[in-house]
A and B are shown apart, each in its own frame.
Chain A
Amino acid sequence: MQLKEDLSKTDMVHLYRQMHLVRVFEEKCAEAYMLGKIRGFLHLYIGEEAIAVGVAAALQPQDYVVTHYRDHGHALARGLDPRRVMAELYGRATGLSHGKGGSMHLFDVNKNFMGGYAIVGGQLPIATGLALASQYLDEKRVVVAFFGDGALNEGEFHEAMNLASLWKLPVLFFLENNLYGMGTHIDRTYAGGRDVYKAGDHYRVPARHIDGMDVLAVRQATREALERIRHWEGPFLLEALTYRFRGHSMADPVEYRDKTEEARWHARDPIPTFRKYLTETAHISEEQLEQVDVEVEQEVEEAARFADESPEPGPSALWEDISAT
């Protein structure tokens, strides 16, 4: 990694802090899941933190974020309150959706975080529509639409790319390629080869592929893509190669992956890698980072405490927010 001149030490420590927050938060989620405090389906983002954090650092507050079901990292990186995210995972009345949504469907309109969507590919036309409205209203907002390699084979990916390009809409299609659509390797599901970003060519969507384990590379590439998009040059496709360290969900023992492949990726863990860069290249002290670690751990403990102590929703909540009238 090269030293980035446009980033202050404070900015860099913040990137580290955010990645560490996502990691510690999700480790807490796994623990809570084993204790039965989080129920249902839990999909962890562990290993992929550099992407959510790198992208969030390049966004403006007015930009929209639309994402998929593995959404805790995007939510926390965007600045959603960890206490209310955890409360949502616990199914509590204080959660962001008052417990109606749960893990895969986080949202916060105040942060322009327009949702995690658990129908694979379903978020892409919606992101395109947000961008169409943004263009119509001349708002200069960009929509970032995260999706995984599994969504490449959904028709809605192709419909959305085509429309966004045709109408020159301000969408950053952000592909988090972790090589596995649930339990099946991309080589067995996608006929287009490993240069997945070239999927943009057919729709004349400019595209790049980047290292998704390098938070600075993600941030920089996102900034460049957003710059182009903000000048109304239409959509952009970024493909970040990454790896999820855990299973598809908590129920997945990950028997389909090769252990040496896993070890190779673990060695590239974005958090220790960036921490090493901070101490060795950016000359940030160990003590300062340790202080950050302690603060993050306290923040996550507080989030879990808040969730634990929050009430469950009552029966009347069932009939709230169905329609305006």
Chain B
Amino acid sequence: MPVKTYIEAVREGLRDEMARDPSVVVLGEDIGVQGGVFRATDGLLAAFGEERVIDTPLAESAIVGVAIGMGLNDLRPVAEIQFADFIHSALDQLMSEAAKMRYRSNGGWHCPLVVRVPYGAGVHGGLYHSQSVEALLCHTPGLKVVAPATPYDAKGLLVAAIRDDDPVVFLEHKKAYRLARGEVPEGEYTVPIGSAVVRRQGRHLTVISYGLMLHYVLEAAERLGREGVEAEVVDLRTLAPLDEATVLASVRKTGKALIVHEDNLTLGLGAEVAARIAQMGFEDLDAPVTRMAAPDVPAMPYAPPMEEFCLPDAARIEAAMRQLAAY
């Protein structure tokens, strides 16, 4: 099976779906002639023409709003918001309109829409090129939110998202774009939305993560494994709806849970996962549910050491795991 980068997997998923289904149309800033600021849409304009690969003005609210309208009228739009940090002016369209469309119309309309969103820190982007926005989106019923960590999942989940009849926000970690490599089958396959996966079996503690952090968690788990501490690692993959069953089954086995994400701590995804474990897995627990996340500072600082202070890394994750395992 060919080994590809995350960004190649995204591009392949887009290209395959566009080739398969003429109702798939992509739009966004610099995605056509330029091929996307991260090159995710490179080559699509040449392959499918400007009717299907639409360069838009810098107008995020209109990009998402127009995509909603396209979806209502039987297309399958894939909109790109160039950086997650720019999505806020489009949140009204996503949260007030897209998320409510099926519900308010009593099932009369639906909105098959994918918004691809490069997100996350670790590239020294500073305040407005580093944000994690998943908590806001997961707090909005009516939106599905996926955050693949591997190239295999990036392609399979993207294809599933495009075929889904409801709005899906597709979070692509921009540091993972070229860092994450893995086997990606040629041809079509899907990874179901709403299903987590156990990436590593273990019996001493469960670590739950997603996106770029998953790779750091796996690295930490390998190191700790050499000391005889076996961590089970759950990759959420879909953040909304949450695959509660996979999380609870793992905690039942290990009795301990650590959630790791790079979004800031307060009311982050870890809070929700921790609450569900506390409520539904209380009797399985041998230790307090713990979280590791970015601190609650207003922005991701630019200076590389300060960015490192903010982001969990493999060494700190390993320390937190060791501490929890010893509890």
Which size class do B's interface residues fall under?
Answer: 35 or more
Contact B73 A124 (CB under 8 A): no
Contact A132/B70 with A125-B61, A163-B62 known, Cβ cut-off 8 Å: yes
Contact B66 A115 (CB under 8 A): no
Q: A17 at the A/B interface (Cβ < 8 Å)? A: no
The chain B residues found within 8 Å of chain A, CB to CB, are: 25, 51, 56-57, 59, 61-62, 64-75, 77, 89, 92-93, 96-97, 102-110, 141-142, 144, 164-166
- A304 → B minimal CB distance (Å): 21
23 cross-chain CB contacts under 8 A? A96-B106, A107-B108, A109-B109, A114-B72, A119-B96, A125-B69, A126-B93, A126-B97, A128-B65, A129-B67, A129-B72, A130-B73, A133-B73, A136-B75, A155-B89, A160-B62, A162-B57, A166-B57, A322-B102, A322-B141, A322-B142, A324-B110, A324-B164
Contact A162 B59 (CB under 8 A): yes
Residues of chain B lying within 8 A (CB to CB) of residue A114: 72, 109
Contact A128 B69 (CB under 8 A): yes
Residues of chain B lying within 8 A (CB to CB) of residue A129: 65-73, 77
Contact B70 A133 (CB under 8 A): yes
Residues of chain A lying within 8 A (CB to CB) of residue B64: 125
Q: Which of B59, B89, B104 has the most CB of A within 10 A?
A: B104
Taken residue by residue from 93 to 113, chain A's Cβ proximity to chain B (1 for < 8 Å, 0 otherwise) reads as: 000111011000101111000
Q: A156 at the A/B interface (Cβ < 8 Å)? A: yes
The residue that B61 contacts in the complex, of A64, A108, A156, with Cβ under 8 A, is: A156
Contact A133 B74 (CB under 8 A): yes
A286-325 CB contacts (< 8 Å) to partner B: 320-325
Contact B73 A137 (CB under 8 A): yes
Taken residue by residue from 224 to 237, chain A's Cβ proximity to chain B (1 for < 8 Å, 0 otherwise) reads as: 00000000000000
Contact B66 A109 (CB under 8 A): no
Contact A105 B57 (CB under 8 A): no
- A314 → B minimal CB distance (Å): 14
- B33 → A minimal CB distance (Å): 15
Residues of chain A lying within 8 A (CB to CB) of residue B142: 322-323
Contact A130 B141 (CB under 8 A): no
Contact B108 A108 (CB under 8 A): yes
Contact B74 A137 (CB under 8 A): yes
Q: Which residue of A lies closest to B110 (CB)?
A: A324
A144-169 CB contacts (< 8 Å) to partner B: 155-156, 159-160, 162-163, 166
Contact B25 A136 (CB under 8 A): yes
Taken together as a complex, chains A and B put the C-alpha atoms of A124 and B59 apart, in Å, by 13
Contact B106 A321 (CB under 8 A): yes
Taken together as a complex, chains A and B put the C-alpha atoms of A23 and B66 apart, in Å, by 33
Contact A122/B144 with A130-B73, A321-B103, A324-B165 known, Cβ cut-off 8 Å: no
- B31 → A minimal CB distance (Å): 15
Residues of chain B lying within 8 A (CB to CB) of residue A100: 103-104, 106
The residue that B104 contacts in the complex, of A107, A119, A131, A143, with Cβ under 8 A, is: A107
Contact A322 B92 (CB under 8 A): no
Taken together as a complex, chains A and B put the C-alpha atoms of A126 and B92 apart, in Å, by 12
Contact A132 B97 (CB under 8 A): no
Q: Which residue of B lies closest to A95 (CB)?
A: B106
Contact B141 A128 (CB under 8 A): no
Taken together as a complex, chains A and B put the C-alpha atoms of A107 and B103 apart, in Å, by 12
Contact A125/B109 with A117-B97, A130-B73 known, Cβ cut-off 8 Å: no
Q: Which residue of B lies closest to A116 (CB)?
A: B104
Taken together as a complex, chains A and B put the C-alpha atoms of A110 and B77 apart, in Å, by 23
- B78 → A minimal CB distance (Å): 13
The residue that A320 contacts in the complex, of B70, B107, B144, with Cβ under 8 A, is: B107
Residues of chain B lying within 8 A (CB to CB) of residue A109: 105, 108-109
Residues of chain B lying within 8 A (CB to CB) of residue A97: 104-106
Residues of chain B lying within 8 A (CB to CB) of residue A87: none
Taken residue by residue from 149 to 193, chain A's Cβ proximity to chain B (1 for < 8 Å, 0 otherwise) reads as: 000000110011011001000000000000000000000000000
Q: Which of A64, A101, A160, A322 has the most CB of B within 10 A?
A: A322
Q: Which residue of A lies closest to B141 (CB)?
A: A322
- A284 → B minimal CB distance (Å): 38
Taken together as a complex, chains A and B put the C-alpha atoms of A124 and B64 apart, in Å, by 11
- A177 → B minimal CB distance (Å): 23
- B19 → A minimal CB distance (Å): 17
Residues of chain A lying within 8 A (CB to CB) of residue B165: 323-325
Taken together as a complex, chains A and B put the C-alpha atoms of A181 and B109 apart, in Å, by 30
A256-288 CB contacts (< 8 Å) to partner B: none
Contact B66 A134 (CB under 8 A): no
| A-B pairs with lowest CB-CB distance, top 9 | A129-B69, A125-B65, A133-B73, A159-B62, A129-B66, A109-B108, A321-B107, A324-B165, A130-B69
Residues of chain A lying within 8 A (CB to CB) of residue B97: 117, 119, 122, 126
Q: Which of B96, B97, B142, B166 has the most CB of A within 10 A?
A: B97
Q: Which residue of A lies closest to B192 (CB)?
A: A325
Q: A127 at the A/B interface (Cβ < 8 Å)? A: yes
Q: Which residue of A lies closest to B96 (CB)?
A: A119
- A122 → B minimal CB distance (Å): 6
Given pairs A107-B105, A122-B65, 5 additional interface contacts (CB within 8 A): A100-B106, A156-B65, A159-B65, A162-B62, A324-B110
Q: Which residue of B lies closest to A99 (CB)?
A: B106
Contact A131 B105 (CB under 8 A): no
The residue that A160 contacts in the complex, of B65, B72, B110, B164, with Cβ under 8 A, is: B65
Q: Which residue of B lies closest to A131 (CB)?
A: B69
- B159 → A minimal CB distance (Å): 16
The residue that A122 contacts in the complex, of B57, B59, B92, B103, with Cβ under 8 A, is: B92
